[in-house]
Amino acid sequence: MTDVLIKVGFVALAALNGAVIFTIMDVKGASWMQRRPGPLHVGLRGFIFPLAEILKFVQKEDIIPTDVDRPVFKWAPAYVVVSAVSLFAVVPLSPTLVVVDLELGVFFALAISSLSTIGVLTAGWSSANKYSLMGGLRAAGQLIAYELPLILAVVGVVIQAETMSLVGIVEKQIEWGVPFAFSGQIVAFLIFMIAATAEMMRVPFDMPIGESELTMGFMTEYSGIRFLIFYISEYMSMFVLCAVASTLFLGGYHLPFIPTEWVNIYGPISLITKTLILGFILVAVRWSFPRFREDQLQNLAWKFLIPASLLNILITAVLKVVL
């Protein structure tokens, strides 16, 4: 029992810290890359501003318009936050420092990450608002379109690793000596990162919440604490998808040239460093690229990424069987 509680506490800490760190990195990255002032006034040169943000949202009035479908509207953020938090359970920090090492680890991660589609769609539909409806439908279309390349890109890794457990995948990469991203899965890695960016609905894939035409998309009618929950879970899922990507493709907790007995010490540091590097790339992409148009976005998924990932599966399978 205490065992489970400690694990849940660890997930809580990891999820909240991940969200806070990525919020800071996103906003500070924006100010650095676009030469804007950025948050500077809230203590420690603005580095504790996410806490101030949470305090602000907690004190705001929670406006629920009269037209909305109340129970659905109230519980829509729950799907998003549950899907973001529970992904933290399967990411291993070292062979032993892992909340649960499921046999179906990758499959669980992919399945649970698609739960947020339901939250987004119900949020858009229950708001009884035209902007929300448009945003919700666009978001659902985008999420299902990019779900497929995300899943199919992982199949290549599973073929190479012959297991779906995340610890098993990292051990296989240690056995190979090279992370999968540099031993045949570079295409899968790129597809995975593009699809993951679209799943997070970040720029350049932020058509569903394009503020210049849809106000805030499916979140238009949300205010106060429920908006904060959507906001936090976006950064949580960003952190955890980067962690999953570095586990699957970049060797996770492993560092070369260091004796593996010390893995409990350097494992977490290594994984978090890789996650932060991937996160920094996402931030850089966000602040340098313009937004995709809706039809370009759908074409990229259906006509390019899905065929490319299917071909990747076939090529990986041929290499696996023939060699």
Partner 1 sequence: MISYFQNYVTVGAVLSFGLFFMMLLVGLASVLRPNKPYAEKLTTYECGVDPVGSGWSQTYVRYYIFGLLFVIFDVEAVFIFPWAINLEKLGYFGLIEMFIFIFILLIGLIYAIRKDVLKWE
Residue selected from 228, 248, 263, 305 as contacting partner 1 according to rule CB under 8 A: 228
Total of chain residues touching partner 1, rule CB under 8 A: 81
Site for partner 1 in 233-292 (CB under 8 A): none
Q: Which stretch binds partner 1 (CB under 8 A): 149-157, 176-184, 196-204, 275-283?
A: 149-157
Q: Rounded distance, CA 185 to CA 153, Å? A: 9
Give the relative orientation of helices 224-249 and 186-199 as an angle to the nearest 10 degrees: 180
Residue selected from 42, 48, 215, 308 as contacting partner 1 according to rule CB under 8 A: 215
Residue selected from 42, 48, 118, 313 as contacting partner 1 according to rule CB under 8 A: 313
Instruction: Please report, as a single letter, which amino acid is at residue 58.
Output: V
Residue selected from 42, 182, 280, 299 as contacting partner 1 according to rule CB under 8 A: 299
The CB-of-50 to partner 1 minimum distance in angstroms stands at 14
Query: Which of 48, 82 has the CB closer to partner 1?
Result: 82
Site for partner 1 in 195-214 (CB under 8 A): none
Q: Rounded distance, CA 121 to CA 137, Å? A: 7
The CB-of-91 to partner 1 minimum distance in angstroms stands at 12
Residue selected from 24, 89, 188, 241 as contacting partner 1 according to rule CB under 8 A: 89
Q: Rounded distance, CA 124 to CA 121, Å? A: 5
Query: Which of 30, 78 has the CB closer to partner 1?
Result: 78
Residue selected from 48, 148, 190, 285 as contacting partner 1 according to rule CB under 8 A: 148
Residue selected from 167, 174, 200, 229 as contacting partner 1 according to rule CB under 8 A: 229
The CB-of-190 to partner 1 minimum distance in angstroms stands at 19
Cis preceding-peptide flag for 204 (omega within 30 of 0) = yes
Residue selected from 52, 190, 225, 285 as contacting partner 1 according to rule CB under 8 A: 225
CB count within 10 Å of CB 63 equals 10
Instruction: Please report, as a single letter, which amino acid is at residue 7.
Output: K
Q: With binding defined as CB under 8 A, does residue 155 bind partner 1?
A: yes
Query: Which of 21, 313 has the CB closer to partner 1?
Result: 313
Rounded (10°) CA dihedral 242, 32, 57, 227: -50
Written in H, E and C, the secondary structure of 167-236 is HHHHHHHHHHCCCHHHCCCHHHHHHHHHHHHHHCCCCCCCHHHCHHHHCCHHHCCCCHHHHHHHHHHHHH
Q: For the chain, how far is it from start to end, CA to CA, in angstroms?
A: 47
Q: With binding defined as CB under 8 A, does residue 166 bind partner 1?
A: no
Q: With binding defined as CB under 8 A, does residue 319 bind partner 1?
A: no
Q: Do the Cβ atoms of 159 and 313 come closer than 8 Å?
A: yes
Q: With binding defined as CB under 8 A, does residue 303 bind partner 1?
A: yes
Cα distances from 286 to residues 33, 59, 187, 197, in angstroms, run: 10, 30, 21, 9
Q: Rounded distance, CA 19 to CA 243, Å? A: 12
Query: Which of 154, 283 has the CB closer to partner 1?
Result: 154
Site for partner 1 in 44-73 (CB under 8 A): 57-67
Q: With binding defined as CB under 8 A, does residue 187 bind partner 1?
A: no
Q: With binding defined as CB under 8 A, does residue 118 bind partner 1?
A: no
Give the relative orientation of helices 115-126 and 130-161 as an angle to the nearest 10 degrees: 180
Site for partner 1 in 127-146 (CB under 8 A): 127-134, 137, 140-141, 144-145
